[in-house]
Amino acid sequence: MTHRSKWLVLILLLLVWGVLLVQRFVNVPEPQRVALKFTSGQTLSREAARGTGGLPALIQPDEASAQQIAFKKPKNIFAPLSLPEKKLKKKRTRIAKEPKPPGPPPEPTAPPPPTPEELARVQRELAAKQARQQMGQYRFLGYLTRGGEQQAFLGKGRKIYIVRAGETLDGLIQIQAVDASSVKLKHQPTNLETTLLLKKEGNGIF
Dihedral sign computed on CA atoms, order 11, 12, 13, 19? positive
- Which segment, 46-50, 104-108, 150-154, is predicted with the most confidence on average? 150-154
Better-scored residue on pLDDT, 104 or 100 = 104
Q: What is the pTM of this model?
A: 0.42
Q: Based on C-alpha coordinates, what's the Rg of the chain?
A: 70
Strand partners for 175? 185
**Residue-averaged pLDDT of the chain:** 75
Better-scored residue on pLDDT, 144 or 57 = 144
Q: Give the containing element (helix H, strand E) for 162.
A: strand 159-163
Q: Looking at residue 39, what is its pLDDT?
A: 54
Q: Looking at residue 132, what is its pLDDT?
A: 92
Taking CA 57 as the corner, what is the angle to CA 51 and CA 59, rounded to the nearest 5 degrees? 145
Strand partners for 149? 146
190: CB partners within 8 A, 6+ apart: 124, 127, 128, 131
Minimum mean pLDDT range among 3-12, 66-75, 168-177, 182-191? 66-75
Using pLDDT thresholds of 50, 70 and 90, give the confidence band for residue 163: very high
What the chain holds in terms of domains, given with CATH numbers, is: 126-197 (2.30.30.830)
d(C-alpha 173, C-alpha 133), whole Å:
12
Minimum mean pLDDT range among 13-22, 42-51, 79-88? 42-51
- Which segment, 58-62, 84-88, 99-103, 194-198, is predicted with the most confidence on average? 194-198
Give the distance between the most distant pair of CA atoms in the chain: 189
Residue 111 has pLDDT above 90, yes or no: no
Residue 59 has pLDDT above 70, yes or no: no
Residue 77 has pLDDT above 70, yes or no: no
Residue 58 has pLDDT above 60, yes or no: no
Minimum mean pLDDT range among 6-20, 24-38, 142-156, 161-175? 24-38
Average pLDDT over residues 151-157: 91
Using CA atoms, how far residue 205 sits from 152, 174, 178, in Å, is: 10, 23, 13
- The pair phi, psi for residue 169, each rounded to 5°, is -105, 130
CB crowding 5-38: b at 16 or more within 10 Å, else e: eeeeeeeeeeeeeeeeeeeeeeeeeeeeeeeeee
